Amino acid sequence: MTPTVAPATDQQPRATLGILGGGQLAQMLALAALPLGVRVKVLEPDPYAPARLCADHLHAPYTDPAGLEELTKCDAVTLEFENVPVEALDTLRGRVPVRPGAALLERSKHRAREKLALREAGAQTAAFVVIESAPELQGALRAVGGRGILKTSELGYDGKGQARVASDFELGQAWEALGSVPCVLEGFVEFGREVSLAVARAPSGQVAFGPLVENVHRDGILRTSVYPANVPDGTEAQARNIARAVAENWKLEGLLTLEFFLLPGGPDQQPQLLVNEVAPRVHNSGHLTQDSGGLSQFEAQVRAVLGLPLSDWRPLHPCAMVNYVGVEEVAPDWAGIDALEGTRIHLYHKAFRKGRKLGHVNLIAPDGATLRKRLSQLEALIP
Ligand code: AMP
């Protein structure tokens, strides 16, 4: 008997989601959306964009009228990067819900505006001075404590567009080297640890949280994330309170990730969380939720943006992530990674470039001690 194959059906998707951007975050959002019955369209000029492999690829600039017209046919539009051109948002306004919306994006793509808005929402940040012209350099370093990091207000990511400074002379040089563009000078924070937490807010106002994750950076780029974070009791509750305040104050619709510096508390002092940065979307530090047994950050963003039922996304066991960033001449030991128990490989199908994020490996373990042991083995396999 010839085996029969079920005929393809022409079922309607449950919903269609548009995404501005087609990189690895859009790829993983689409991979989370498909099992929910949700189809995805990405607007992305790169012909080799990672998301083209699992979504309809509208291959055009972000401001392309025909591409944007296609997105207006979706149930909602979200994004995978914050620097969406204002023209694109203007074209979509009033024709399809864009989540998060334009006002929130205007804040989160501009460091100075973001920090001011964080403080308005009651969150604490490092000391900072906004520098938009040369006279503002005067006295700025003293005002932030004598040592700082100068960061461009716009278009900085993964440690790019930043310089450490410890004298007025260095500050002047750094500002010129960054192109004398508007910047924020932040005081240097002697943090104990770096942690992050994501919050999702549905259009109904319902709020849900991701796990508190501990992050280690290398050369300004995330190297590892670990859950649970090794932090004092009460830190996660404190991070959630801050995240809720920001989500509600900023009227978030969608998902937002906060990166924090954790300052160790004294004998009768609570540890203190300062918000370093906010990303209005899923974040590299949340990738470990893909294999953690619970809802993933990607499914959480899809659900929040489409107004589907939403709950906290909490790993069911200890887990970690190691980023695979392009390093010349040395490739990860894939056979070794495959052979290591608890690993899950995620590749983005991007061309190799030095310093480029090309994939990540998630790791799960039944307990914290096993996780730590496996994590040091895994790190040795990924240059
Ligand atoms: P960012 O691009 O702002 O996330 O910075 C990248 C990394 O640089 C952070 O994750 C920290 O490890 C470090 N960093 C950024 N700002 C500061 C600061 N004000 N004080 C100390 N370290 C910082």
Strand pairing category for 56-58 and 38-43: parallel
Query: Which ligand 1 atom is the nearest neighbour of the CA of 162?
Result: 2
Own/partner pairs for 31-38, CB < 8 Å, 24+ apart? Answer: 31/298, 32/296, 32/298, 32/299, 32/301, 32/302, 33/298, 33/299, 33/302, 36/299, 36/302, 36/303, 36/308, 37/13, 38/13, 38/14, 38/302, 38/306
Pick the closest to residue 249 from 230, 271, 275 (CA basis).
275
| CA–CA separation, 224 and 58 (whole Å) | 33
Q: Whose C-alpha lies nearest to ligand 1, atom 9? A: 220
Whether residue 320 is found in the same domain as residue 222: yes
Whether residue 161 is found in the same domain as residue 198: no
Query: Residue range 304-316: average pLDDT?
Result: 96
159 occurs within a structural domain: yes
3 occurs within a structural domain: no
Per-residue pLDDT band at 182 (split at 50, 70, 90): very high
273 touches ligand 1 (CB under 6 Å): no
Answer yes or no: are the C-beta atoms of 296 and 289 closer than 8 Å: yes
Whether residue 163 is found in the same domain as residue 252: no
Per-residue pLDDT band at 270 (split at 50, 70, 90): confident
Strands of the 148-152 sheet, one edge to the other: 128-131, 183-187, 148-152, 162-165
Whether residue 174 is found in the same domain as residue 222: no
Q: Whose C-alpha lies nearest to ligand 1, atom 2? A: 159
Residue position matching structure tokens 């294999």? 291
Residue 371 has a CB neighbour count (10 Å cut-off) of 22
* Ligand 1 centroid, distance to 68 Cα (angstroms): 35
Domain boundary among 187, 203, 228: 187
* Ligand 1 centroid, distance to 105 Cα (angstroms): 21
Pick the closest to residue 17 from 89, 88, 99, 103 (CA basis).
99
Taking CA atoms, 328 is separated from 194, 289, 332, 378, 383, in Å, by: 28, 29, 11, 19, 10
Predicted TM-score (pTM) of the model is 0.94
Taking CA atoms, 28 is separated from 54, 65, 311, in Å, by: 9, 26, 19
Percentage, residues of the chain above pLDDT 70: 96
Q: Which of 4-13, 77-86, 138-147, 313-322 has the lowest mean pLDDT?
A: 4-13
Domain that holds residue 35: 15-98
Per-residue pLDDT band at 52 (split at 50, 70, 90): very high
Query: Residue range 292-307: average pLDDT?
Result: 96
217 touches ligand 1 (CB under 6 Å): yes
2 occurs within a structural domain: no
192 touches ligand 1 (CB under 6 Å): no
Whether residue 274 is found in the same domain as residue 366: yes
111 occurs within a structural domain: no
Domain boundary among 44, 77, 98: 98
Torsion angles phi and psi, residue 123, rounded to 5: -85, 150
pLDDT at residue 267 tops 80 = no
* Ligand 1 centroid, distance to 254 Cα (angstroms): 25
pLDDT at residue 346 tops 80 = yes
- Number of domains within the chain: 3
Whether residue 346 is found in the same domain as residue 306: yes
Domain boundary among 187, 210, 231: 187
What CATH number has the domain bearing residue 43? 3.40.50.20
pLDDT at residue 7 tops 60 = no
Whether residue 165 is found in the same domain as residue 69: no
Query: Residue range 80-90: average pLDDT?
Result: 92
Whether residue 326 is found in the same domain as residue 377: yes
Tens digit of each residue's pLDDT (9 = 90 or more) over 134-171: 999 999 999 999 999 999 998 876 667 889 999 999 99
pLDDT at residue 11 tops 90 = no
Query: Which ligand 1 atom is the nearest neighbour of the CA of 158?
Result: 2
80 touches ligand 1 (CB under 6 Å): no
Looking at residue 376, its pLDDT comes to: 98
What CATH number has the domain bearing residue 344? 3.30.470.20
Looking at residue 271, its pLDDT comes to: 81
Per-residue pLDDT band at 36 (split at 50, 70, 90): very high
Strand pairing category for 272-279 and 319-325: unpaired
Whether residue 200 is found in the same domain as residue 168: no
Q: Which of 44-48, 189-193, 328-332 has the lowest mean pLDDT?
A: 328-332
What separation, in Å, do the N-terminal and C-terminal C-alpha atoms of the chain show?
52
What CATH number has the domain bearing residue 131? 3.30.1490.20
pLDDT at residue 3 tops 60 = no
Per-residue pLDDT band at 220 (split at 50, 70, 90): confident
Strand pairing category for 56-58 and 148-152: unpaired
270 occurs within a structural domain: yes
Answer yes or no: are the C-beta atoms of 342 and 373 closer than 8 Å: no
